[in-house]
Structure 1
Amino acid sequence: MAAIMVGLRDGMVVTSSSGGKEKVGRGGGVYNSRRRIKQFIVGAKTRILFFISFLFLFFIICTRITTFMGWHPHYATSRGDGYTVLINTWKRNSLLKQAVGHYASCSGTDAIRVVWSEIDPPSHKLLVYLKNIVRSKSQTAHKPNFKFDLHEEDNLNNRFKPIEDLRTDAIFSVDDDVIVSCSTLDLAFSVWQTAPSTMVGFVPRMHWLDVEKDGVAYYKYGGWWSVWWMGTYSMVLSKAAFFHKKYLDLYSYEMPASVHEYVTRERNCEDIAMSLLVANVSGAPPIWVKGKIHEIGSAGISGLKGHSKKRNQCLNDFVSLYGAMPLISTNVKAVNAKHEWFW
């Protein structure tokens, strides 16, 4: 009989005859199963550890991405870092109360100034009510300063009159029927701090060359749907926008008097005039910040018949008065990366 050799191979019982054939027994089956389970557990732990490390690295990158890109956002942490909310109102006290109460609750609000252009001054009752609501709604130890800026004449140029005793460089110009959430407002403020010479806002508009005849260009004014369709804009409206306080002086004292007279006469387009002024001074496009704004009142003059035609005429008349087209188109949009997974 041929010799039989008995040995172990990987925990299995192996018998071999001189003929070279091997027989594998079942004696090591339990050991082998345990070994495979152990290998599976070790592999799973490794994969889980790798996944956790990846998530941690991804989080670090997301929190530091603005630094990597050279953008260093600032947030309102003291009186000098805040902004002044400049509210334009006209015989809508119920809307004014809502707006003042909301913006008083934003931590970056250093002051609230109300542009009042009615013949009769605000009542003492309204003044006391608004001051009380500012104190009660404010979430910070430093309570925003509240004041009416009274104007004897009903004139849209009033919304850009210089303001005394301002403590901030940043002005947030807003209509009394527009509400922007505090978090969205803080985002726009941080964007403005990186480009304080331009306008940063939430309502983009555009222009484009329509025809040119005999060396004279004619431009079209595009509303929201034009911006949405074309993916570009060249203005952000002052109904909800940040700009530097110096533009109040420039608008009132340096801009051509013919522009003031035009706005007074037509009772329209002061926002286009401001966009042209800022673009002319800065040589830069505005910045549109993505964020929801809530209009709490009824449609204003923008809902009137012939509004688009009037805006076209304003734009071209202003360009004629300026002697050039200072607006610069862009397709840049600032978004909060924490809330945007798909850009």
Structure 2
Amino acid sequence: MGNSDRWATQKAEPTRWSLLGRRMAQRFRQLAISAVGSVKIKLLLFCCIVFTVFVVASIPASFMGWKHQTTSFDRLSVPRKGYTILINTWKRNDLLKQSISHYISCPGLDSIHIVWSEPDPPSSSLVKYLLNHITQSSSKHGRQVELKIDINKEDSLNNRFKEIKDLKTDAIFSIDDDVIFPCSSVEFAFNVWRSAPDTMVGYVPRIHWVDESEVSMQKADKDHYIYGGWWSVWWMGTYSMVLSKAAFFHKKYLSLYTNEMPASIRDYVTKNRNCEDIAMSFLVANATGAPPIWVKGKINEIGSTGISSLGGHTEKRSECVNRFVAEYGRMPLVSTSVKAVDSRNIWFW
């Protein structure tokens, strides 16, 4: 091979490497252009989405056919209308003081009515203590809470549902003096009640069911009912009552209980010193044909156990249920499995 051929070979090799380099550079440019194009497309899509959301948010709700509604959580911070606490007490002034000292700070509270059925009127020291606490709280929170002690001559559990003619609120929070709920829980239950103001909304569910045992079936053709406590509710997953020891209901039911509910039921409650809460559940269910609403809430019991700890409690309550069914001529209670839960206070919803 001559020198010219050798030179041609030597020059051919760099030419191939140059072509390969140019092709690789061109490929990189194409990839870069493609990447830039992809970013531009994504950026353009993102801008379109943001613009669409902005436009939709700017359109009046009436144009879209929506009606603006304030949710219960919006109303929670500044209630449009408050509630009255109707607290039942009996010779437990220390518990009464503790309860009122707690509830006086709840933002939706408008007034407090104490159901007093003791033979002696409240002492001046107790009244002074309660008024001082209410005055201090009113000054601190910038609102005036009214306190009234409704003194009853007769010692009857019916007193807790006696009609009050000068109530300023529609909502009543019926509570015993030995249970305390956080104000946030009370306000949540209040807003649940405002979504269904004709029904009872409470923290303590109970249930009834038909006794289908052979003994019961042989006694009579009519159904015989059994009253079930908390563990029955937990086991069956349903309830048909919420006890008035901690429940919201409309003030109109005080008038119905006092003036229109069968007098025989009130007489039975007075005589047996039991079941006024079941009587109220029957009354509301009979008027609405709807079940109550159970609100999940943490109960802080500050007193000793009540009549529910006594022997034969379930049997006595079952007797009340069957007696009231006979008075109404039917079973008005409606069972349900609905439970209202404030999802803001739980980790997983």
So what's the TM-score if we normalise by structure 2?
A: 0.79
Counterpart of 2:181 in structure 1 is: 180
How do residues 202-221 of structure 1 correspond to structure 2 at under 5 angstroms? 202-211=203-212, 213=217, 214-221=220-227
Counterpart of 1:11 in structure 2 is: none
The residue type equivalent to 1:118 in the other structure is: E
1:259 corresponds to which of 261, 265, 275? 265
Residue 190 of structure 1: SS of its match in structure 2?
A: helix
What is the deviation of 1:342?
Answer: 3.4
Whether 1:280 and 2:258 are equivalent positions in the alignment is no
What is the deviation of 1:23?
Answer: 9.4
Counterpart of 1:72 in structure 2 is: 71
Counterpart of 2:337 in structure 1 is: 331
Counterpart of 2:13 in structure 1 is: 4
The residue type equivalent to 1:133 in the other structure is: H
Residue 300 of structure 2: SS of its match in structure 1?
A: strand
What is the deviation of 1:225?
Answer: 0.8
What is the deviation of 1:4?
Answer: 2.4
Counterpart of 1:310 in structure 2 is: 316
The residue type equivalent to 1:184 in the other structure is: S
RMSD, aligned CA: 3.2
- Going from structure 1 to structure 2, the CA distance change for 1:340 and 1:6 (only over 3 Å counts) comes to farther
Counterpart of 1:244 in structure 2 is: 250
Q: 1 CA distance for matches of 2:159 and 2:109?
A: 22
The residue type equivalent to 2:190 in the other structure is: F
The residue type equivalent to 2:92 in the other structure is: R
What is the deviation of 1:278?
Answer: 0.3
Percent sequence identity is 58
So what's the TM-score if we normalise by structure 1?
A: 0.81
Residue 191 of structure 1: SS of its match in structure 2?
A: helix
Counterpart of 2:5 in structure 1 is: none
What is the deviation of 1:238?
Answer: 0.2
Stretches of structure 1 lacking an aligned partner (at least 5 in a row): 8-13, 17-21, 25-30, 54-59, 61-66
Residue 247 of structure 2: SS of its match in structure 1?
A: strand
Residue 198 of structure 1: SS of its match in structure 2?
A: coil
Counterpart of 1:27 in structure 2 is: none
Q: Which has the larger radius of gyration?
A: 2
Whether 1:294 and 2:300 are equivalent positions in the alignment is yes
Q: Which moved more, 1:313-322 or 1:84-93?
A: 313-322
Counterpart of 1:120 in structure 2 is: 120
The residue type equivalent to 2:168 in the other structure is: R
Stretches of structure 2 lacking an aligned partner (at least 5 in a row): 1-7, 23-27, 51-56, 58-65
- Going from structure 1 to structure 2, the CA distance change for 1:23 and 1:302 (only over 3 Å counts) comes to same
What is the deviation of 1:198?
Answer: 0.3
- Going from structure 1 to structure 2, the CA distance change for 1:5 and 1:236 (only over 3 Å counts) comes to farther
What is the deviation of 1:174?
Answer: 0.1
The residue type equivalent to 1:132 in the other structure is: N
Q: 1 CA distance for matches of 2:207 and 2:299?
A: 19
Counterpart of 2:196 in structure 1 is: 195
What is the deviation of 1:140?
Answer: 2.6
Counterpart of 2:235 in structure 1 is: 229
Q: Which has the higher helix share?
A: 2
Q: 2 CA distance for matches of 1:210 and 1:71?
A: 45
What is the deviation of 1:145?
Answer: 0.1
Q: How many residues align?
A: 308
Q: Which moved more, 1:136-145 or 1:164-173?
A: 136-145
Residue 224 of structure 2: SS of its match in structure 1?
A: strand
Q: Which has the higher contact order (CA 8 A, sep 6+)?
A: 2
